């Protein structure tokens, strides 16, 4: 399973394609031959999630199985399943972002690709930096987190 770390500034061309950075590309071609699934993020941050296909396949049944009499669960299903786009890196290591995902995450030219362990996140650069600046410490922490010593 992948271990994606670090962030990369990349840009989208006029046709909506983004070139995956060489290091990430290598890892992707190893663990899933470049076969990935791109979808929308469900929490309040409008970014995209990029899963290696095997990782997505472990996740998908869990999402499908959620009790969908619950509003929050329905929301998660609609967002994640309804936006999921399986794709493959092209010969130059690029992917084409489907238009609905482009607009969901407000992607323009400048993007940031953020490693998050098993998956990656794709942000509009502007939104990423805005998020970095906003709200630092005023949220409730889970106990595991309060005990951390970094």
Within the chain, what is the greatest distance between any pair of CA atoms? 47
- Distance, in Å, from the CA atom of 111 to the CA atom of 127, rounded to the nearest integer, reads 9
CB of 26 to DNA, least distance (A): 8
**Residue 15 or 62: which CB sits closer to DNA?**
15
Burial 52-66 (b: 16+ CB within 10 A, else e): bbebbeebbeebeee
Q: Using the rule CB under 8 A, is 130 a contact of its own copies?
A: no
- Please tell me the count of residues contacting its own copies according to CB under 8 A: 59
The footprint of its own copies on residues 89-108 (CB under 8 A) is 98-100, 104
Q: Using the rule CB under 8 A, is 10 a contact of its own copies?
A: no
Q: How far apart are the first and last CA of the chain?
A: 25
* CB 38 within 8 Å of CB 15: no
**Interaction site with its own copies (CB under 8 A):** 5-9, 37, 41-44, 49, 59, 62-67, 69-86, 98-100, 104, 112, 114-117, 121, 131-132, 135-137, 139-142, 144-145, 148, 150
């Amino acid at each position: 399973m992948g271990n994606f770390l670090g962030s990369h500034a990349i840009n989208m061309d006029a046709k909506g394609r983004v070139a995956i950075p060489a290091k990430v590309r290598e890892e992707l071609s190893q663990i899933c031959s470049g076969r990935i699934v791109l979808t929308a993020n469900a929490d309040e941050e409008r970014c995209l999630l990029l899963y290696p296909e095997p990782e997505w396949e472990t996740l998908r049944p869990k999402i499908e199985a959620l009790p969908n009499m619950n509003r929050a669960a329905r929301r998660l299903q609609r967002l994640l399943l309804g936006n999921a786009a399986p794709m493959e890196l092209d010969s130059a290591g690029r992917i084409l972002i489907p238009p609905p995902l482009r607009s969901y995450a407000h992607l323009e030219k400048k993007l940031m690709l953020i490693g998050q362990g098993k998956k990656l996140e794709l942000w509009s650069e502007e939104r990423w930096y805005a998020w970095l600046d906003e709200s630092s410490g005023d949220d409730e922490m889970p106990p595991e987190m309060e005990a951390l010593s970094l």
